[in-house]
């Protein structure tokens, strides 16, 4: 399974409601999953604490919303997985 929830601190940017409590509920819903999952999130202390029991890999990507071409800023994310 691949999951890409609203990042912590950006919940208000989406039309669908996603509250800070939903981050906790998502974490709880993933715990009993028997299959493999990959989850992308922003790299922040809250995410690292919430998913501390899983494999967390930091990556950087270019920000799609700012700048153009090579002038785009780098943005830190984490890939979280249960395998």
- Note the pLDDT tens digit of each residue in 23-77: 999 999 999 999 999 999 999 999 999 999 999 999 998 776 655 566 667 889 9
Mean pLDDT of the chain: 88
pLDDT of residue 10: 77
Taking phi first (over 0 means left), then psi (-120 to 50 degrees means alpha), and beta for anything else, what does residue 70 get? Answer: alpha
- The model's pTM is 0.80
Q: Can you tell me the distance from the alpha carbon of 35 to that of 31, in angstroms, rounded to the nearest whole number?
A: 10
Reported as a single tens digit per residue, the pLDDT across 30-42 is 999 999 999 999 9
User: Domain spanning 2-81: which CATH class is it, in words?
Assistant: alpha beta
Give the neighbor-by-neighbor strand order of the sheet with 55-62.
Answer: 2-3, 38-42, 74-81, 55-62
Q: Which residue has the higher pLDDT, 18 or 78?
A: 78
Q: Can you tell me the distance from the alpha carbon of 2 to that of 33, in angstroms, rounded to the nearest whole number?
A: 12
């Amino acid at each position: 399974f691949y999951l890409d929830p609203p990042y912590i601190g950006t919940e208000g940017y989406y039309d669908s409601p996603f509250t800070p409590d939903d981050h906790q509920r998502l974490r709880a819903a993933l715990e009993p999953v028997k299959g493999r999952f990959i989850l992308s999130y922003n790299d922040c202390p809250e995410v690292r604490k919430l998913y501390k029991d899983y494999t967390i890999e930091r990556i950087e990507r270019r920000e799609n919303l700012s700048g153009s071409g090579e002038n785009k800023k780098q943005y830190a994310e984490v890939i979280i997985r249960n395998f």
